[in-house]
Amino acid sequence: MSTRQKSSKMVAFDVLLNLLNSSFPSNKGRHYLDKKNYFIKEFKEYISFLQRFERSIRDKKKQEKALQQRFLNEKSDQITLIGDLLLRNIDSSLIKKKVKKLFRKCIGKWAYQSQIMKRSFEKPRGYAGDYKIIEMFYDHKPVSKGIGYYFDKYILGNTLATADIYRKDKMIELLKDFIEKNNSKKIEIINLGCGGCRELRDLFRSYSPNKKVNFIAVDQDLEALKFSESFINDFPTEVSVNFLCKNIIDLINIYRHKNPSHPLVNKQLVYSIGLVDYFANNTLQLFIRFCLKTLVPQGQLIFAHKNREKWKSFLAPDWFCDWRFYQRDKDEVLRLIKNEIVGCDLKIKWEKTHHMFFFIITKKDS
């Protein structure tokens, strides 16, 4: 390791140490000081582990690589859990952010050799979870070399990333069921925050509906829409997709403040599987109102939301990638939107791991 590299990491570690010391003064109590000292000790050991790990991974047999992967997973899960438990004793959100930022600076030399982790952290499209990252999760294959390969497998093996796959598969099941049970000769569907439209590609790879199905795929990212558009020629002739490059918040605000005729109306289904976790409470409420306005009577709104009860799976994306969500459980979401769905029918379903739930809201006749 060069002097410059070592100095950069050590400076970050020293700043982190000073920050924690100032956040846990001696009069804070033994319990709090023990948590701070335990984290510092374990974090030093984690950095030493990464140094040894990188030196040891060359020319290993398959069995040894599997064992090493398990070590990396366990050590990384452990340090993020210890860090999370420590930060629960700090009131300042600014200090919490600084601690995590310094954590990333200390471990970035190794973790960001993973192309998946690096892109998740750097967010080159300007937001977390862009379509390329989600495609990597769906493909579930490491793409990096050296220690980056192991960090690829670590983040792909995170239960939240696995749940992304099952969420997509559950949405495919719900889409197919909706299309087959709907009696209309032509079905109009909106996909909000569509990204790469992977669920549509996977669904129509082996399924041809016996009626016309028209999709409007909405996303703020033009690159994601162009990526999705490159696949539509492979869809059955009964299926059409139109693309709309719009920020969902802008669409909601246009309707809310200027009150024109609604930009998207008379649809049988509106769905979104990777969007509402990023909405604050009031935005989520406005989103529900907006979506219900687009539906015909007996139309459905389907959205997926991460389950706060599985909070440990959020730690790796947060600590390593600065990737956070609004954490809610199904009861919190229901309390939050109950006034928006008065008079509607509601069903709640889960993907396989129970890390994510689906709200299925049916609009009643006016």
311-353 tens-digit pLDDT: 999 999 999 999 999 999 999 999 999 999 999 999 999 999 9
Query: What is the structure's pLDDT at 19?
Result: 80
State the Cα torsion 286-347-217-201 to the nearest 10°.
Answer: 150
Residue 258 has pLDDT above 80, yes or no: no
Is the CATH number 3.40.50.150 carried by domain 162-362?
yes
Average pLDDT over residues 241-253: 93
- Position 6 pLDDT exceeds 60: no
**How many angstroms separate the CA atoms of 42 and 71, rounded?**
15
Report pLDDT digits (tens) over 38-90.
Answer: 999 999 999 999 999 998 887 666 667 788 899 999 999 999 999 999 999 88
* 8 Å CB contact between 253 and 148: no
Q: Is the pLDDT of residue 2 over 60?
A: no
Sign of CA dihedral 144, 147, 150, 155: negative
Q: How confident is the model at residue 257 (pLDDT cuts 50, 70, 90)?
A: low
pLDDT digits (tens, 9 = 90+) for 178-227: 999 999 999 999 999 999 999 999 999 999 999 999 999 999 999 999 99
Confidence of residue 28 (pLDDT cuts 50, 70, 90): low
Q: What is the pLDDT of residue 3?
A: 45
366 confidence band (pLDDT: 50, 70, 90) = low
pLDDT at 22: 77
- Indicate whether 7 pLDDT > 60: no
pLDDT digits (tens, 9 = 90+) for 263-314: 688 999 999 999 999 999 999 999 999 999 999 999 999 999 999 999 999 9
- Rounded CA separation 85/90 (Å): 10
What pLDDT, on a 0 to 100 scale, did the predictor assign at position 276? 97
User: What number is the average pLDDT over the span 240-257?
Assistant: 88
More confident site: 25 or 43:
43
Token pair in block for residue 94? 């600014």
Residue 259 pLDDT grade (very low, low, confident, very high; cuts 50, 70, 90): low
Tell me the C-alpha distance between 46 and 87, whole Å.
18
